[in-house]
Amino acid sequence: MNKKVGIGLVGSQFVSSIHAEAIKTVHDAELVAVMSPTAGHAREFAQKHGIPHHFTEITPMLAMDEIDMIVIGAPNLYHCELTVAAAQAGKHVVVEKPLCMNLAEADLMIEACKKAGVKLMYAEELCFAPKYVRLKALLDEGALGDPVLIKQSEKHDGPHADHFWDVERSGGGVTMDMGCHAIEFFRWMLGRPPIKSVYAQMGTHVHTDKTRGDDNAVIILEFENGVTAVAEESWTKQGGMDDKAEVHGTKGQAYADLLQGNSILTYSTQGVGYAVEKAGHTIGWSFTIYEEIWNYGFPQEFAHFVDCVKNDKQPLVTGEDGKAVLEAVFAAYESAGTGKKVFLPFKTNADKPYKLWKA
C-alpha cells in the first residue's frame, strides 16, 4: 500500500478518544471518519479531533473507499455484527477488548475476516506498554531464569461507560472488562502456551446497586508449561488506576508498576485538573501521570496495526488470541459459579459469561 492507511472509528466515548489521540501519532495513518448512533456525538467527536467525516450509521462509512481499517470501540454486544459488516465491506478490523460476547460470535468474526481476506486485530494494549515490553524482554533474555509465577493486577473504581455495568450489554463484570487484559498479558509474556486450568473467586461487594456483574475477582491460571499466573481485578479501588505486574523466576524476579512508577507525586490543596485515569478528587496527595496513553501503549499498538495493514504483516495480537482469552474468561466464570477448577479446552453454549457464574 503506497498511501496512508485510512481509518474509521466506531464509537465516540472514552476509549475512542484514546484511539483517536493514539492514531494521530502514527505517520502512516489518517483518521477519515467516525460513526456513533447517538445524535450529535459523532459530529462533536469529529470536530474535536479534526476528522473530516462523521456518521450515525455504519453502512455509509463502510462504503467509503478512503477507509482501509475500522477500529471498533463500541459496546461489547455490537462487536460481532460490526466486525462481520466491516469484513464484508473489505475493511481490516481492530476490535477493543473483549473480542465479543461469546465463543460462537468469536468464530463468526474470525471466519468472516478470513473469508474476506482482511486482518482481524485484537486491541490488547498491554502487549505494547513500554514498561511491560521491557519486562518481557528481561524474561526472554533469561535474566530471571525460568518463569514460575506471573501476577498482573488492574484496579480502579469502575468503568467509564454505562454499558459496562449492564451484564446484558457487556457480558459480565470486572473479569470480562479487565480480566481479559491479564489473560492475554500472561499468554504474551510466556509465548502463548496453552492454558491448562482456570480457578476463580468473584464477588459483588461495592457496586451492588449498579451491576449484577462481579466488581472484584481473583483468577488463577495454570499453563501447560507449569507456570502459575494470578490476576487480581477490581472495580472497588478508589484514588486512581493501578496497573502492576510481577514475574518470579528461578534466577530472579522483576516488578513493574505501569502508572505510579511513572508519575509525579503531587500535593495540592486546590486539586489537580487531571491527574490520572479514575483519580476522582485530587485534593491532598495524588500521583500525576504524564504521557499517559504512551505509558499504556496505545500509540505503539496502533503504529503496529497500521504497519500490518500497510505492509501486509501478521499482527502481534489476533482474533484467535482474542478468542483464547474469551475461552479463559468463560472458564473463570464457570469456576466462580461452581467453586471448582475448570480445565481447558472449555466449551460452552452460554451466550454471556456472567450466566455461568449466576447459574
Domain coordinates in residue numbering, the chain: 5-125, 127-297+325-343
Question: What class, spelled out in words, does domain 5-125 have in CATH?
Answer: alpha beta
pLDDT at 142: 93
- The answer to whether domain 5-125 and domain 127-297+325-343 are alike in fold is no
348 — pLDDT class (breaks 50, 70, 90): very high
> Residue 237 pLDDT > 80, yes or no?
yes
Q: Whole-structure pTM over 0.85, yes or no?
A: yes
The span from the CA of 8 to the CA of 6, in Å, is 7
39 — pLDDT class (breaks 50, 70, 90): confident
pLDDT at 206: 97
Q: What is the pLDDT of residues 16-28, one digit of tens each?
A: 999 999 999 999 9
Q: What is the pLDDT of residues 249-303, one digit of tens each?
A: 999 999 999 988 878 777 888 888 877 877 777 888 887 888 889 999 999 999 9
Residue 122 C-beta-side C-alpha neighbours within 13 Å: 27
**In CATH, which superfamily holds the domain spanning 127-297+325-343?**
Dihydrodipicolinate Reductase; domain 2 (3.30.360.10)
